[in-house]
């Protein structure tokens, strides 16, 4: 099973110069810098999706009611412990 994929793309000379400078200063490869940047972008995108979902849920009366029911159950469990 293949664990990596190759692709070809274009990027502005200024941005690739920044990537190269960053790679040199960290004694890393260009690929490592780009991979880290993509992982950070992926993480931030997921955080934004979750944040937007929670914001929508906070405005939904039915979801808030379900959450309150869950908190009541949680309180009963804690009180028993």
Angle at 43 between CA 68 and CA 57, to 5 degrees: 20
**CA angle 18-23-24, nearest 5°?**
100
| Residue 3 lies inside a defined structural domain of this protein | no
> Tens digits of per-residue pLDDT, 26-79?
999 999 999 999 999 999 999 999 999 888 888 888 887 877 777 778 888 888
CA gyration radius for the chain? Answer: 23
Asked if residue 4 belongs to a domain, the reply is: no
Q: Judge whether 43 lies within some domain.
A: yes
How many domains are contained in the chain? Answer: 1
- pTM for the whole thing? 0.65
Q: Is residue 1 part of a domain?
A: no
């Amino acid at each position: 099973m293949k664990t990596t994929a190759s692709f070809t793309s274009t990027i502005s000379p200024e941005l690739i110069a920044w990537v190269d400078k960053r790679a040199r200063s960290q004694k890393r490869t260009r690929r490592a810098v780009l991979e880290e940047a993509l992982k950070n972008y992926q993480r931030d995108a997921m955080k934004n999706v979750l944040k937007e979902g929670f914001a929508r849920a906070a405005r939904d009366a039915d979801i808030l009611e379900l959450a309150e029911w869950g908190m009541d159950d949680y309180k009963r469990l804690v009180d028993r412990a």
